[in-house]
Amino acid sequence: MASESNFTVLKLTTPAPGRGCPPVGIQLEGLILPPVITIDVILGLLGNIVALWIFLFKLKAWNPNNLFLFNLVIADFLALVSLPLRIDALLRGYWVFGDGPCRMNLFLMFSNRTASIALMTVVAVYRYFKVLHPHHRFNRMTKRQAAVVSALVWVVVISPRAPLLAYNHIKGSGEKTQCFFFTSYKEARRGIVILVAMHRILTVLEFILPMALLLFCSIRISSFLKKRQMGKPEKVRKAMRMCAAIVAVFMVCFLPTTVTTIGVWVIRSYRPWDCSAFYTFTQLNIVSFGLNFLNSALDPIVYIFSSSMFRKALLAALPSCRLCRRHDGGNTASSSGTQSTSEQALKSMQPAGSSQA
């Protein structure tokens, strides 16, 4: 079969009989991914540094929902610190950091996608129980129990990705050195072939199953609140904004990679001679790869819509909001002073006999 990589594009040619599509020498990802991932890193670091500051220094009380969101911040940071190495490799055209950083880089990048999906799903399910089943024991979860749930999520996230750390993914030498996860099936060891198959299955399942659960929670919350809370439209809007924010992040960041992965998978399995279609889907997969890390920049929006405590702490920390409050306070004090002065003036203007009357 043909060579394949998250960072390698295949040539649009007719394959030789029994050989599949040959690899290409032009690195299309070197043109597209560096600016996309750089924007992801800049926006992601700015948003998550602010979020981390709020969680650690401004949040006065913690609840299970905030603990889940804090774990999401940690997941984003793990991915963001690994991306500069990938940007450097794309700009240079080769990998200079050795085998260990290569393994860790791939592990962190793929784990971030899984962790983000898992933790956002937990946040949505937690809100679902809060709204539809307020007396369920799930809503009486303590912070310690929430920490246990978070730890279990990390175990589920890390377990299928840990084998990435067990294999050498360095290909070539010198200025031809590359840090690849996917490689030619003819050259790869059996373990790598199994890892590639696991990755494809996880890429599809970890999107489809949580997305179905998110849509179910969103529809049920919307239906319930519109039916039972007609007198509280603001409560309906808050719950639906949270669901809409999570679903939007899913659709923008993870749907393109899922669709293109399925496309590549289908073509390799059922149309191995169709290099044109395979080349097109591989290019689309490369472009969509950059969107995976856009979630690190969009997740702070999820924090704002998912936690009223986080939102209030953020507003309280913004200088403009402080100035507005001071200005409003000054106006209130001024109007109070003006009112009391006017009252005194009116009293002094009253006739002497009016007080006796």
Query: Span 264-291, mean pLDDT?
Result: 81
Burial class (CB in 10 A: 0-12, 13-18, 19+), 144: exposed
Asked if residue 57 belongs to a domain, the reply is yes
Query: Span 202-210, mean pLDDT?
Result: 89
Domain that holds residue 172: 29-319
Q: What mean pLDDT value characterizes the chain?
A: 77
Residue 196 has pLDDT above 80, yes or no: no
Q: What is the CATH number of the domain that holds 267?
A: 1.20.1070.10
Query: Span 238-265, mean pLDDT?
Result: 85
Radius of gyration from C-alpha coordinates of the chain: 27
Asked if residue 228 belongs to a domain, the reply is yes
User: Which carries the bigger pLDDT value, residue 106 or residue 231?
Assistant: 106
Question: Which of 63-72, 136-145, 233-242, 250-259 bottoms out in mean pLDDT, i.e. has the lowest?
Answer: 233-242
Asked if residue 118 belongs to a domain, the reply is yes
Residue 327 has pLDDT above 70, yes or no: no
Burial class (CB in 10 A: 0-12, 13-18, 19+), 12: middle
Asked if residue 15 belongs to a domain, the reply is no
Asked if residue 110 belongs to a domain, the reply is yes
Residue 311 has pLDDT above 70, yes or no: yes
Total number of domains constituting the chain: 1
pLDDT tens-place string over residues 119-149? 999 988 888 888 788 788 888 889 999 999 9
* pLDDT at site 84: 92
Q: Please tell me the distance from the alpha carbon of residue 255 to that of residue 261, in angstroms, as a whole number.
A: 10
* pLDDT at site 151: 96
Query: Span 49-77, mean pLDDT?
Result: 90
Tell me if the pTM is above 0.95. Answer: no
Residue 290 has pLDDT above 50, yes or no: yes
Asked if residue 328 belongs to a domain, the reply is no
Asked if residue 4 belongs to a domain, the reply is no
Question: Which of 138-142, 149-153, 204-208, 236-240 bottoms out in mean pLDDT, i.e. has the lowest?
Answer: 236-240
End-to-end Cα separation, the chain, in angstroms: 106
Residue 36 has pLDDT above 80, yes or no: yes
Asked if residue 35 belongs to a domain, the reply is yes
Burial class (CB in 10 A: 0-12, 13-18, 19+), 320: exposed
Please state the separation of Cα 139 from the chain's center in Å: 25
Q: Please tell me the distance from the alpha carbon of residue 185 to that of residue 272, in angstroms, as a whole number.
A: 13
* pLDDT at site 101: 92
Closest CA to 251 of 214, 287, 286: 214
